[in-house]
Amino acid sequence: MDRFEIFFDLVFVFSFFIITRATAVEVTGPALLHGMLVLAVLWWTWVVHSVVATRVRLGEGFVPVLMAVGMAALFCFALALPQAFGDPRRSTTGPVVVAVSYLVIRAVHMVLYIHVVQDTPHQRRQVFRFLPEIALSTLLLLGAALVPLYIDDLGRAELVRDGLWLTVVVLQYGTGIIGGTWGWGVASAEHWTERYDLILIIALGESVISVGLGSNLLGQPPSWPAVVASVLGIFFTAALWWAHYDVIGPAARIALHATLGRARVAMARDAYAYCYLPMIAGIILFALGAEGIVHDVADPAVSVTEPARGIHAPLLFIGVICYLVGNMLFQLRTLHTLSWSRVGAVFLLAAAIPFSAQLPGLVTVSVLTAICVGLVAVEVITMHESRQALRDVVFQERATHEAQEAAFRARWHEDGPDDEEERR
């Protein structure tokens, strides 16, 4: 994997952080809707970026220069997000910056892809089929920034703005389905899966940051409830990491390797580009819930026995449900299987939602952690043979790959680079 891709991911880390922070200011229904709309638009730029990265080395030639422009635009996009859904009748600077930055990001990706396929007419025609989506998405975002200025009623102005953002999301993901699988491919299943696995880890890292911010251990002396809540937050986050990366993620990688042609493209699009979105959305939701609960638990002025306030407790369970449902859809699309243990965990989490707001915050986090860790424990026991077989396959694959690399590099020790060049 190109190291410049990891460098580019740093801006996405910041973007996820901004979405969570902007929503955490006041966790309400409209704020959550706005956060999810922004996440969906941001995620689509990531999907396009991952498609481009399959065809071009981002750290070679003139490409880093263009990518630096894209990174700057993405950074401005993230900086302007907190103002994107403010009072639409006030300053339009933030929403306009969002729209312009989005256009620059998409233009950079388009220029790079056109450069790659310039000698392949049918692929070049396929790229141009996506130009209307870029133009319409940008116009809709500009409309969301400017049209509400001319609407006197605040409620109607906000409704129009949110409707335009929703239209952008439908247009983007609808285009991905309508456009089909013609004109692009997944040359390296290893590279594709590695990119998405890394970005999911980045999102999980955001939940860890949220727990840390909620504990506020840097701003006050540590208390045992704050420490316990923080530890539990790490435990259930680690359990969710395990739920994907222990068996499902590696098995899906092998499945994508074994699939060829348009079927591979369809699997890459459906499982990774689409099913990862609810997983990342779930991470942000339960990060918000965890931050609010841990903050109250760590507050000396709040009794440990006091029920969790606001919607943080239900949000914690809803976020984990969203993550697990997205992961089950991912499993179903790649492996054509469904784990009964995960279905059971989702039902347990859903059943706990009505009681979560009545329980003390520390108890709520404990119940959630028990369900998540229990899911992992059950799967470790019931899927022992499958896990062992998968690990044997992965070990054989790595051993074979390392042997091939060692054999190739041995020629340099035997003949030297000059002799190798002469032989060519």
**Cα separation of 102 and 141, whole Å?**
9
pLDDT bracket for residue 306 (50, 70, 90): confident
User: Which tokens hold the place of 309?
Assistant: 């306030």
Answer yes or no: is pLDDT of 416 > 60: no
Where is average pLDDT lowest: 189-198, 363-372, 395-404? 395-404
Answer yes or no: is pLDDT of 296 > 70: yes
**Cα separation of 150 and 160, whole Å?**
11
**Cα separation of 30 and 35, whole Å?**
9
**Cα separation of 7 and 29, whole Å?**
34
pLDDT at 59: 63
- Side-chain half-sphere CA neighbours of 90 within 13 A: 6
**Cα separation of 174 and 186, whole Å?**
20
% of the chain with per-residue pLDDT over 70: 86
Tell me which of 137 and 59 has the higher pLDDT. 137
**Cα separation of 348 and 4, whole Å?**
42
User: Which tokens hold the place of 154?
Assistant: 């605040």
Sign of dihedral through CA atoms 23, 199, 203, 278? Answer: positive
**Cα separation of 249 and 236, whole Å?**
18
pLDDT at 130: 74
Answer yes or no: is pLDDT of 133 > 80: yes
**Cα separation of 36 and 39, whole Å?**
5
Instruction: Specify whether the CB–CB gap between 286 and 364 falls below 8 A.
Output: no
Where is average pLDDT lowest: 18-32, 92-106, 153-167, 261-275? 18-32
Q: Which of 375, 364, 378 is nearest to 241 (CA)?
A: 375
Q: From the centroid of its chain, how far is CA 99?
A: 21
pLDDT at 189: 83
pLDDT at 195: 87
310: number of Cβ within 10 Å? 15
pLDDT at 272: 93
pLDDT at 126: 67
pLDDT at 213: 65
Tell me which of 391 and 315 has the higher pLDDT. 315
In the predicted model, what is the mean pLDDT of residues 269-293? 91
User: Which tokens hold the place of 128?
Assistant: 């141009």
Instruction: Specify whether the CB–CB gap between 54 and 191 falls below 8 A.
Output: yes
pLDDT at 325: 96
Tell me which of 142 and 14 has the higher pLDDT. 142
In the predicted model, what is the mean pLDDT of residues 192-209? 85
